[in-house]
């Protein structure tokens, strides 16, 4: 079945360090790929997405490129801030009913990022 594997955490970095969180997936067909962020005590927010191979999603300094050949969607940021401390989830969307337009999200287990001043 469809699945998402992301690097185990926690990840602890100093402010202004470079961030990479690895994400690989298995899926039938051509899924869309997402990164969600969850700040402490809050729900998930969409950070960025890519809907087809070689697309690059970007937002708030974060980037991820949809690599079909390596089935990967790694999250990167060149210089992290303390405010980036959160849990990051990689996810893919697959159709749940044939012929319909409804999609469900399959999530990775999440990676806790802590950025120290």
Partner 1 sequence: NAGVTQTPKFRVLKTGQSMTLLCAQDMNHEYMYWYRQDPGMGLRLIHYSVGEGTTAKGEVPDGYNVSRLKKQNFLLGLESAAPSQTSVYFCASRTAEQYFGPGTRLTVT
Residue 58 CA to residue 35 CA, distance in Å, equals 10
How many residues of this chain interact with partner 1, rule: CB under 8 A? 21
Start-to-end C-alpha separation, the chain: 41
Q: Can you tell me the distance from the alpha carbon of 115 to that of 27, in angstroms, rounded to the nearest whole number? A: 32
Cross-strand bridge partners of residue 13: 115
Is the Cβ–Cβ distance between 86 and 47 less than 8 Å?
A: no
Among candidate residues 27, 24, 12, 31, the one with its CA nearest the CA of residue 85: 12
| Site pattern 21..60 for partner 1 (x: CB under 8 A) | -------------x------xxxxxx--x-----------
CB of 109 to partner 1, least distance (A): 4
By C-beta, is 91 or 115 nearer to partner 1? 91
Q: Indicate whether 11 belongs to the interface with partner 1 (CB under 8 A).
A: no
Binding mask 79-108 for partner 1 (x = CB under 8 A): ----------x------xx--x-xxxx-xx
Contact residues for partner 1 (CB under 8 A)?
4, 34, 41-46, 49, 89, 96-97, 100, 102-105, 107-110
């Amino acid at each position: 079945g469809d699945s998402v594997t992301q690097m185990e955490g926690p990840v602890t970095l100093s402010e202004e360090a470079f961030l990479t969180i690895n994400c690989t997936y298995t899926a039938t067909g051509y899924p869309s790929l997402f990164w969600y962020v969850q700040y402490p005590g809050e729900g998930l927010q969409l950070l960025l997405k890519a809907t087809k191979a070689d697309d690059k999603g970007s937002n708030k300094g974060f980037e991820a490129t949809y690599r079909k050949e390596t089935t990967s969607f790694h999250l990167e940021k060149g210089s992290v801030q303390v405010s980036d401390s959160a849990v990051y989830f990689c996810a893919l969307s697959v159709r749940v009913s044939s012929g319909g337009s409804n999609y469900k999200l399959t999530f990775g287990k999440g990676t806790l990022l802590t950025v120290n001043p």
